[in-house]
Amino acid sequence: MRIPYTGPLPAPIIVPKNANTPTGAISALTNFLSAPRSPLVPSLPKSHGLTVLLTGAGVSVASGLADYRGTAGTYTLNKSYRPIYYNEFLSNHEARKRYWARSYLGWTNLHKAKPNNAHWAVRDLGKQGYISYVITQNVDSFHPMAHPELPTLELHGYLRSLVCVHCGNHLPRKEFQQSLSALNPAWADFLVKMLEAGALDSEHPDERRKKGLRSNPDGDIDVPGAPYTTFRYPPCPTCLAKPPMLPDGSQSIVQIDVDGAWSQHSTAGVLKPAVVMFGESIAASVKMAAEEAIDSASRILVVGSSLATYSAWRLVKRAKERNMPIGVLNIGGVRGEESFYTAPQADSDGSSGVRCSESADKVLPAVVQNLPYRCAP
């Protein structure tokens, strides 16, 4: 289940000690990725044994997107922020109105954002034979865009499409955005004016706050005082054409108003983003794929994540239990990081474990330059 950790995070533990500068971090990460397989890790098939990458919102900050717990993250600057939870989304029509209105405003900037140097460096590390698999908590689709040939598991889903909670039908977000514009002409005019004024040019919370907006991750734009209750959204077109049977065996009802918006008298046809919302369980197949990726690797490198969600933290815990060397490249503290490293590692060269607090988009490209091509073991 995707549940946010709200406790305080520790100060970063720098490992090895000389990884406290960009140059030192680059050297330590180079040693970490190129080190031979640890004899403490359970034996693996010959085709396996490379590094598995686990990434979080911090890796997309250089693409202009907001994160949760970075130096300018939502939880850092907006202590009262609370994301919508799955049960609330399912049960509350007004909550869905609010969610889709804010998402409607934020989608334009999210849709035009592109992968940054960190994503391209991951691509190159895969090509050079150092990374075998990427598990990402991000829902921006930047990893599969940047390196479609490198296997990527989107642990928390993706925003590029929607899914019906009743029939399972998928719908492209671009098509849904057009429907929202048609159903909400006043909001569409408001969005055009915001874009023309440059109000959405940056997702940096301080810049947005100066313009009277609150910016949150995953394309969420909050306009204080906005009439969210007026916002309308369409039903699942599949359910509208053929209302499905409900779990209790009864026939569902899918109704629309004169303009085609979902009616609160409906009992089906609710679309949600194809992401794992907070409080929602991750599909068993996704959990299994993530665990298999960990078990097939010889080491793990965490990039741009504080591991504040249990679904990500448990994977590093699993790696630790398998005696896998752990690397972390993240600005700021990481949940449970004090348990990842031992005292001798602090004086090593980074091959047995590394922890640095640097920007991935600046450090990873330099690591790529340091590493020669090699064949997978």
As a whole number of angstroms, the longest Cα–Cα distance in the chain is 70
Strand, helix or coil for residue 209: helix
Query: Could you list the active site residues?
Result: 156
Are 317 and 324 in contact, with CB atoms under 8 Å apart?
A: no
Phi-psi category of residue 198: left, alpha or beta, with phi > 0 → left and psi -120 to 50 → alpha: left
Identity of the amino acid at 291: E
Provide the 8-state DSSP code for 60: G
Provide the 8-state DSSP code for 370: H
Q: Is the peptide bond before 16 cis (omega within 30 degrees of 0)?
A: yes
In whole angstroms, give the CA distance from residue 138 to residue 110: 12
Identity of the amino acid at 312: A
| Start-end of H helices in 218-341 | 237-241, 284-295, 310-321
CA distances in angstroms from 275 to 70, 158, 163, 172, listed in the order given: 22, 5, 9, 13
Task: For residue 58, give the nearest of 367, 357, 315, 300 by alpha carbon.
Answer: 357
> Residue length, the chain?
377
| Start-end of H helices in 38-184 | 74-77, 86-91, 93-112, 117-127, 142-146, 173-183
Residue 99 token pair: 């969610």
Quick count: other Cβ atoms within 10 Å of Cβ 264? 11
CA distances in angstroms from 166 to 48, 84, 160, 163, listed in the order given: 39, 20, 19, 9
